[in-house]
């Protein structure tokens, strides 16, 4: 055996210890399936063995399936379809993808009791293994988490998870658990009856064995005569109170963009009306179908494979020693600076938080104390965790406190003069080997670096707000930024557990260019006379997390006006739409509507009440449509405009070499500004549609709405050749950086 260790104690209880060599976490591979299948047979057929406990020798139990294994099914399908036809290829995917489900059912019906002793993370196919066991005991380790997060990468649990969960808890709870993909702490998992016991970590295996010694039952409830579903039959009063409302909620939340979510609804609904073996077969057929969907392929690639590559340092320069970051300086104790301080201190760094005077610096830390205390009050954080974070942060107005920092980040107001003054003060005191980073969202890094004594040590680290919640950081390379600065920035981002993308200097960099195109499209639709509610709902139907008007309120309507004016000043009046400029001027200067920050923007924000679209917005618009004209608006076209305008801007950034890695364009678009995740990201969206079709759609919109839809030359060339971004610019694989 390679991946498991097998021992039998004096009581005839087998201990199977999962410990894959060369990996930090156990994952499910074809080799693991084969090896575990042999162990199930051994336990079943050896009369001397009374039962088995399966546990892990690593800090975590299992991270789920190796998704690169599932990725390979796509290539295998194409090969078989070409050689033997699509029917044979479909049969292959079905048979291969259900091997794990068959294995777990074999374990479940083996006639011997199996116990899963869970330590640390246990998710995906690993948790499905636990559900197949007859008893589950978890350690009290605070890091222990359990769940079925497959929905987040365009899949659903395909090894019996949908059927077992829906037979263990009421279907309403089961659907919520499966569709949200959340990971549960031990107390929540036990309360939901998804695990049976929680014990101290050093008693884990002993407690598991004791259950077998005490006569633990080797038959699942659903395999016994007279089993009743926890929520009652599907066609019962309780069932009718579950499935129709669940279907409505599913459509409200997904707009039918996620085939895997629809499949979960289907397999739970169908499966609960069937015997277990037939239900598992239904689940397997749907799983094979979803596995071949373009949405699953794109989401697996971007949200698992590519994200994992980036998190492991795919863009880190080779040959640069690992950074030993211990102390961080942050200049600017406002909302953004305090957020950066929080995530940095939580990662174990000592943080110096500087502002113009002691009172302002203290105010930044006090705001952070309040925000963290709110989390403690809501049970999302322990008081000791809050105190440990705050203890690491030292507020001060004294720039000399930066002299022993390894990395300094300025997070002051987005004004060139203010930043220049701060840069001068910082470079006067920091070490000659320290790296300097600017958290700017719009100002070009190269021009800011010209104020610094050694531009090779100057880099941009663009955080997204709120820092604690947003998982992306944009690392911006100036013209003279050196490899060491890039390596330090990437090492720092890895420490604070964010996903980095590396981009080259440009106005708005990558994320903001695409975001501004999205918000601008919403403004222009308003000026065309489209009702605000239709604009917002169409954007959400397209897959965006919030509508463009709502997003503008969050970022600040006044900031939008500043960006328009700065663009006009730098690039000329033809670079901005005069109607959009007037709309923003009316909103900000005449109506004093700055967005959520002052409770008035495109929406009205009344404390304690849901936000509502501002009724006065209609009076600012130059065009008013009749009811017949509104009803004639093509909603599908509105949806396409929102996605196409962002994707074509992403293609421009790629042509201009602002973004140079397709993985970063896609991951950055989903994590940074919520581009429809089911597409896999901006460039995957183009590939999914086909470059030829996408360019034709751009031409249609260009003719109808203007040059913002003009496809770049690169895209036109790719369309003519029938190329895709991932075909032409496939990233070279390399080993994880130091």
Active-site annotation, residues? 462
Using omega within 30 degrees of 0 as the cis cutoff, is the peptide bond preceding 404 cis? Answer: no
Residues 6 or more apart whose Cβ sits within 8 Å of residue 632: none
- CB atoms under 10 Å from CB of 259, counted, come to 20
Residue 241 phi/psi, 5-degree rounding, is -85, -5
Residue 438 phi/psi, 5-degree rounding, is -110, 130
Calpha distance 440→81 (Å, rounded): 50
Q: What is the per-residue burial (b if ≥16 Cβ within 10 Å, else e) of 68-80?
A: ebbbebbeebeeb
DSSP of 656-676: TTSB--HHHHHHHHHHHH---
Lookup: tokens for 533: 């509610």
Calpha distance 453→546 (Å, rounded): 42
Calpha distance 313→490 (Å, rounded): 7
Beta strands in 177-233 (DSSP E): 183-184, 197-199
Lookup: tokens for 483: 């490899």
The 3-state secondary structure of 591-631 reads CCCCEHHHCECCEECCCCCCCEECCCHHHHCCCCCCHHHHH
Beta strands in 261-336 (DSSP E): 327-331
Is 708 in a helix, a strand, or coil? Answer: helix
Calpha distance 131→133 (Å, rounded): 5
For residues 401, 321, 478 and 652, what is the CA-based torsion angle, rounded to 10 degrees?
-130
Calpha distance 114→277 (Å, rounded): 19
| Closest C-alpha among 512, 472, 480, 523 to residue 668 | 472
Distance of alpha carbon 220 from the chain centroid: 35
Calpha distance 186→158 (Å, rounded): 23
Helix (H) or strand (E) holding 503: strand 499-504
Strand order in the sheet with 51-56: 4-8, 13-18, 51-56, 114-118, 135-139, 197-199
| Closest C-alpha among 197, 58, 184, 52 to residue 138 | 197
Is 543 in a helix, a strand, or coil? Answer: coil
| Closest C-alpha among 521, 529, 552, 536 to residue 642 | 521
Calpha distance 588→605 (Å, rounded): 16
Burial of 238 (0-12, 13-18, 19+ CB in 10 A): middle
547 in Cβ contact with 536 (< 8 Å): yes
DSSP of 342-408: HHHHHTT-EEEEE-SSHHHHHHHHHHHHHHHHHHHHTTSS-HHHHHHHHHTEEEES-GGGGTT-SEE
Cα–Cα distances (Å) from 727 to 107, 669, 684, 730, in that order, read: 42, 19, 11, 6
Residues 6 or more apart whose Cβ sits within 8 Å of residue 631: none
Cα–Cα distances (Å) from 184 to 105, 123, 163, 262, 544, in that order, read: 24, 10, 19, 23, 27
DSSP of 407-438: EEEE---S-HHHHHHHHHHHHTTS-TT-EEEE
């Amino acid at each position: 055996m390679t991946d498991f260790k097998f021992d039998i104690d004096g009581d005839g209880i087998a201990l199977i210890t999962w410990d894959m060599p060369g990996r930090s976490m156990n994952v499910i591979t074809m080799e693991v399936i084969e090896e575990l299948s042999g162990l199930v047979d051994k336990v079943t057929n050896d009369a001397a063995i009374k039962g088995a406990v399966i546990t892990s020798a690593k800090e975590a139990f299992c991270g789920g399936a190796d998704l690169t294994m599932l990725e390979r099914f796509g290539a295998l399908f194409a090969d078989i379809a070409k050689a033997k036809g699509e029917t044979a290829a479909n049969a292959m995917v079905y048979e291969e993808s259900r091997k794990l489900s068959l294995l777990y059912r074999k374990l479940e019906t083996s006639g011997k009791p199996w116990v899963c002793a869970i330590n640390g993370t246990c998710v995906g196919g690993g948790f499905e293994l636990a559900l197949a066991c007859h008893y589950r005991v978890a350690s009290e380790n605070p890091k222990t988490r359990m769940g079925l997060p497959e929905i987040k990468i365009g899949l659903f649990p395909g090894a019996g998870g949908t059927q077992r969960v829906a037979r263990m808890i009421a279907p309403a709870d089961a659907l919520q658990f499966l569709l949200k993909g959340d990971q549960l702490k031990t107390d929540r998992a036990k309360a939901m009856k998804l695990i049976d016991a929680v014990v101290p970590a050093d008693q884990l295996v002993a407690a598991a064995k004791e259950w077998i010694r005490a006569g633990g039952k080797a038959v699942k409830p659903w395999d016994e005569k007279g089993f009743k579903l926890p929520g009652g039959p599907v066609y019962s009063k309780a069932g009718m109170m579950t499935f129709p409302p669940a279907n409505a909620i599913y459509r409200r939340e997904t707009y039918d963009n996620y085939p895997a979510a629809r499949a979960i609804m289907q397999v739970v609904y169908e499966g609960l009306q069937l015997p277990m073996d037939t239900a598992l077969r239904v689940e397997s057929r749907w799983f094979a179908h979803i596995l071949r969907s373009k949405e699953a392929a794109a989401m697996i690639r971007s949200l698992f494979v590519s994200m994992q590559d980036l998190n492991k340092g795919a863009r880190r320069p080779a040959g640069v020693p690992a950074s030993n970051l211990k102390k961080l300086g942050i200049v600017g104790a406002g909302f953004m600076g305090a957020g950066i301080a929080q995530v940095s201190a939580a990662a174990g760094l000592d943080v110096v938080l500087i502002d113009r005077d002691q009172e302002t610096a203290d105010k930044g830390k006090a705001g952070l104390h309040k925000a963290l205390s709110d989390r403690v009050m809501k049970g999302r954080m322990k008081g000791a965790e809050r105190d440990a974070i705050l203890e690491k942060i030292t507020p001060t107005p004294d720039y000399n406190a930066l002299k022993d920092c390894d990395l300094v980040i300025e997070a002051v107001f987005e004004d060139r003069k203010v930043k220049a003054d701060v840069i001068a003060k910082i470079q006067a005191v920091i070490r000659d080997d320290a790296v300097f980073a600017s958290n700017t969202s719009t100002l070009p890094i190269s021009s800011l670096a010209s104020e610094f004594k050694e531009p090779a040590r100057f880099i941009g680290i663009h955080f997204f707000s709120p820092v604690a919640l947003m998982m992306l950081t944009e690392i911006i390379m100036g013209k003279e930024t050196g490899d060491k600065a890039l390596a330090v920035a990437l090492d720092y981002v890895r420490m604070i557990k964010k996903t980095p993308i590396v981009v080259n200097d440009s106005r708005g960099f990558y994320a903001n260019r695409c975001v501004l195109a999205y918000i601008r499209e919403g403004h222009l639709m308003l000026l065309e006379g489209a009702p605000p509610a239709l604009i917002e709902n169409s954007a959400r139907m397209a897959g965006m997390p919030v509508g463009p008007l709502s997003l503008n309120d969050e970022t600040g309507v006044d900031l939008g006006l500043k960006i328009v004016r700065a663009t006009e000043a730098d690039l000329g009046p033809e670079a901005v739409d005069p109607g959009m400029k007037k709309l923003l001027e009316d909103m900000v200067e005449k109506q004093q509507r700055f967005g959520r920050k002052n409770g008035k923007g495109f929406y009205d924000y009344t404390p304690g009440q849901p936000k509502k679209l501002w009724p006065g917005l209609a009076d600012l618009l130059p065009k008013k449509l009749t009811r017949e004209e509104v009803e004639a608006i093509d909603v599908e076209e509105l949806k396409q405009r929102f996605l196409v305008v962002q994707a074509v801007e992403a293609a421009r950034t790629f042509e201009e070499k602002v973004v140079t890695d397709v993985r970063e364009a896609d991951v950055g678009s989903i994590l940074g500004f919520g581009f429809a995740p089911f597409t896999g990201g901006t460039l995957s969206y183009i590939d999914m549609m086909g470059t030829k079709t996408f360019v034709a759609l751009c031409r249609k919109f260009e003719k109808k709405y203007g040059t913002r839809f003009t496809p770049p030359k690169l895209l036109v060339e790719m369309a003519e050749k029938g190329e895709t971004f991932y075909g032409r610019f496939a990233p070279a694989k390399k080993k994880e950086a130091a």
